[in-house]
């Protein structure tokens, strides 16, 4: 292991023997919470790794870890990323579904990202500025994909109000809305992944997903910060819209 510039033969400061933390001085007028957030970012190994590996954010490793476990981003799959900004999940999907056709022996997948805000282009992904809650959004998505989706995924979170219960209810409502779109665009056997917050108000949403999918798991991937209440619901084996009695979705 190479030594840092502060190490000298015969004399060591001891810094190489313990983890160093980047300290961010509290500037005049800077809120303590902002200082702590910045310090956490500077010391986050996933943030450092994302910069090194070219991902747009640490969130890319959440979908990587979920896919390592559940294997839904397979070559040839058609993927919808709801609320895709800044684009890290799309970047991962492009690689894993072979959207660029770089693996000549594998089928070529398709990745469509949608977001309310404009997102910088991503090679191999088709990005659209769209409110997925708008009328006709499901038909637009299927048109861009060239057919039904194999995976609908969402890392969306509602803007924080600072009130824990309110924030939880907002994100549950957002997940339910994302699930409604998934019911309209997913291929039978498809997968739905969405971020939720730990809490007791999502029972109805969980029940709805269990009717629509053969298996529903709630997972906290290693890339999720330990002090965060976020987790991800991974619903596999789409059987059809629950209010259709479990009948298979027709594309």
State whether 95 and 212 are in the same domain: yes
> Residues within the annotated binding site for S-adenosyl-L-methionine?
87, 89, 115, 131, 155
Q: Whose CA is closest to 90, among 123, 58, 50?
A: 123
Q: What is the CATH number of the domain that holds 141?
A: 3.40.50.150
Instruction: Give the sheet arrangement for strand 125-129, strand by strand.
Output: 125-129, 110-115, 78-82, 149-154, 186-197, 230-238, 213-219
Domain carrying residue 40: 23-53
**pLDDT tens per residue across span 101-145:** 999 999 999 999 999 999 999 999 999 999 999 999 999 999 999
Catalytic pick among 35, 195, 210, 220:
195
State whether 93 and 156 are in the same domain: yes
State whether 28 and 62 are in the same domain: no
pLDDT of residue 246: 42
State whether 33 and 145 are in the same domain: no
Residue with tokens 């800044």: 86
In a domain, 11, yes or no: no
In a domain, 193, yes or no: yes
In a domain, 1, yes or no: no
**250 token code pair:** 């027709």
Q: Helix (H, G, I), strand (E, B), or coil: what is residue 145?
A: helix
pLDDT of residue 153: 98
Distance CA 220, CA 156 (A): 15
Counting as low any pLDDT under 50, the low residues of the chain are: 1-29, 36-37, 41, 200-201, 244-251
In a domain, 70, yes or no: yes
In a domain, 104, yes or no: yes
pLDDT of residue 182: 97
pLDDT of residue 34: 60
State whether 185 and 223 are in the same domain: yes
The count of structural domains within the chain is 2
State whether 152 and 30 are in the same domain: no
State whether 46 and 90 are in the same domain: no
Active site residue 25: no
State whether 47 and 68 are in the same domain: no
Burial of 169 (0-12, 13-18, 19+ CB in 10 A): middle
In a domain, 14, yes or no: no
> Residues within the annotated binding site?
87, 89, 115, 131, 155
In a domain, 223, yes or no: yes
Domain boundary residue among 12, 31, 53? 53
State whether 47 and 162 are in the same domain: no
State whether 123 and 214 are in the same domain: yes
State whether 175 and 225 are in the same domain: yes
pLDDT of residue 187: 97
State whether 160 and 231 are in the same domain: yes
In a domain, 189, yes or no: yes
């Amino acid at each position: 292991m190479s030594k840092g510039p502060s190490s000298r033969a015969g004399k060591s400061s001891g810094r190489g023997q313990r983890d160093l933390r980047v300290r961010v001085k509290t500037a005049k007028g800077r809120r303590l919470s902002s200082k702590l957030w910045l310090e956490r970012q500077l010391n986050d190994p996933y943030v450092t790794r994302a910069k090194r590996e070219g991902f747009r954010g640490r969130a890319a490793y959440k979908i990587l870890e979920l896919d390592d476990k559940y294997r839904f981003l397979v070559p040839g799959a058609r993927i919808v990323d709801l609320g895709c900004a800044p684009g890290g999940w799309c970047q991962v999907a492009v690689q894993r579904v072979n959207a660029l056709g770089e693996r000549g022996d594998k089928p070529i997948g398709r990745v469509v990202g949608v977001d309310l805000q404009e997102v910088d282009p991503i090679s191999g992904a088709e990005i659209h500025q769209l409110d997925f809650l708008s009328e006709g959004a499901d038909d637009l998505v299927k048109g861009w994909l060239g057919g039904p989706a194999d995976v609908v995924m969402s890392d969306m979170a509602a803007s924080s109000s600072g009130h824990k219960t309110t924030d939880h209810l907002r994100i549950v409502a957002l997940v339910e809305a994302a699930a409604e779109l998934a019911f309209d665009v997913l291929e039978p056997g498809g997968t739905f992944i969405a971020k939720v917050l730990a809490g007791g108000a999502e029972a109805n949403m969980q029940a709805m997903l269990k009717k629509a999918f053969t298996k529903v798991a709630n997972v906290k991937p290693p890339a999720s910060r330990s002090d965060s209440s976020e987790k991800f619901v991974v619903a596999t084996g789409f059987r059809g819209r629950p209010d259709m009695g479990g009948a298979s979705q027709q594309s």
